[in-house]
Structure 1
Amino acid sequence: MGPQAGAGLLLLLLLWATRGGQVLTSDAQQRYTSIVDVANGGTWGDWAWPEMCPTGYFASGFSIKVEPPQGFPGDDTALNGIRLHCTRGNPEQNTHVVESQSGSWGSWSEPLWCPGTGFLVAFSLRVEPLTFPGDNTAANNVRFRCSDGVELEGPGLSWGDYGDWSDACPKGVCGLQTKIQRPRGLRDDTALNDARLFCCDG
């Protein structure tokens, strides 16, 4: 095996390991330049498949899937999904929605948009810490920072606290991947636990 083939294999293995066993398509591998994540994500579930904006598109807005509070003795899951709304800088033209795996509960909010032609560049998750015994929810809400510094907070729930902001993408977010706990029957469900975002430069 020559040095170029060996380097390619090493890159593929690194991608597999860092994506939780999910290998990106060759198009996605060529397009993204970095990945941003947060340190306070929930511990349950598995990383799903990554989803990317079309080439030349960036996330200008987002929406979330949230289950409202269930009350006693219901099982709360709170944040169940995140969608990126990808554009070429104008949310009124050619919007493309991407979504990695989402939980089973709740409904989708209306999109929140960066002003003007801005793109999403960083995010922060609101996560409820482990409660035992108790009804765990993991991620409850998400906020994004736009390229002009404007911060957008989703209409999620208020349990837990926001962690530190992720690093910022140099130009904009172009994809995402979610960590989801599958339905557990009569046991405690948490749905979305964590997320990470892909950065592109063109």
Structure 2
Amino acid sequence: MEQTVGAKLLLLWVICCGHGRVGGLSGYTKVIEVTNGGPWGDWAWPEMCPDGFFSSGFSIKVEPPQGIQGDDTALNGIRLHCAGGNAELNTHVVESQSGRWGVWSEPLWCPDGSFLVAFSLRVEPPMTPGDNTAANNVRFRCSDGTELEGPGQTWGDFGNWSEPCPKGLCGLQIKIERPRGLRDDTAVNDVRFFCCLS
């Protein structure tokens, strides 16, 4: 229920005042979400593919395991690789806010001109006591049925698939916890995506 209300409030914000980012925020039909996102952090700014582009690939920022004494954050960012025409030659990368830890993976691409239409998030539930990581990985389904799984961490489980976007994903918004100093950091907790208008 809370996520549905959040998506409606975001849509209202977009209609009223959200036209300042890449490609604007008017070129989408709906927001897709999953129900297993982590509880910490705040929603960062949304980022959109340029008009006429759609997401045909993605990459993620992941911190490697830090060992028994370390503080694991796992997933620190998600990038959409937006294509206009030939995916290898005419692309634009968009990302919402990302965490400070880890490195970006190489892009994973949908085959043969297909595009990203749905996603599922791997999330570790809150652990008390314990080292919380929240979101650990993401996987996407392409319009041709291919599934692509990011090279993230393995803590937690993948939740249900989101609703599909018939014409593909055109933007994203990350829920991220800011660095907490010497305490338990989680970085990315949740993500929502915007469906292409055309």
Instruction: State TM-score, norm by structure 2.
Output: 0.90
The within-5 A match list for 1:9-158 is 17-18=9-10, 24-25=18-19, 28-158=24-154
Counterpart code for 1:17: L
SS of equivalent to 1:189: coil
Matched, 1:191 2:187: yes
Counterpart code for 2:36: N
Query: Any conservation in 2 of the 1:145–1:151 contact (CA below 8 Å)?
Result: yes
In the alignment, which residue of structure 1 is the partner of 2:3?
A: none
Render the CA deviation track for 1:134-153: whole Å, top value 9, x for unaligned: 00000000000000110000
1:29 shift after superposition: 3.9
Query: Any conservation in 1 of the 2:54–2:115 contact (CA below 8 Å)?
Result: yes
Query: Structure 2 vs 1, CA of residues 128 and 33 (structure 1 numbering), >3 Å: closer, same or farther?
Result: same
Render the CA deviation track for 1:40-99: whole Å, top value 9, x for unaligned: 000100000000000000000000000000001100000000000000242112110000
Unaligned ranges ≥5, structure 2: 1-5
SS of equivalent to 1:129: coil
Q: Which has the larger radius of gyration?
A: 1
Give the percent of matched residue pairs that are identical in Structure 1 and Structure 2: 70
Query: Any conservation in 1 of the 2:7–2:31 contact (CA below 8 Å)?
Result: no
Structure 1 stretch 20-29 or stretch 67-76: which is displaced more?
A: 20-29
Aligned pair partner of 1:177 in 148, 173, 178: 173
1:17 shift after superposition: 2.6
For residues 151 and 15 of structure 1, what CA distance do their matches in structure 2 show?
25
For residues 85 and 122 of structure 1, what CA distance do their matches in structure 2 show?
15
For residues 154 and 19 of structure 1, what CA distance do their matches in structure 2 show?
28
Query: Structure 2 vs 1, CA of residues 127 and 19 (structure 1 numbering), >3 Å: closer, same or farther?
Result: farther
Query: Any conservation in 1 of the 2:98–2:188 contact (CA below 8 Å)?
Result: yes
For residues 142 and 15 of structure 1, what CA distance do their matches in structure 2 show?
20
Aligned pair partner of 1:168 in 164, 168, 176: 164
Alignment length, in residue pairs?
Answer: 189
Query: Structure 2 vs 1, CA of residues 90 and 44 (structure 1 numbering), >3 Å: closer, same or farther?
Result: same
Root-mean-square deviation (Å):
1.9
Counterpart code for 2:97: Q
Structure 1 stretch 91-100 or stretch 26-35: which is displaced more?
A: 26-35
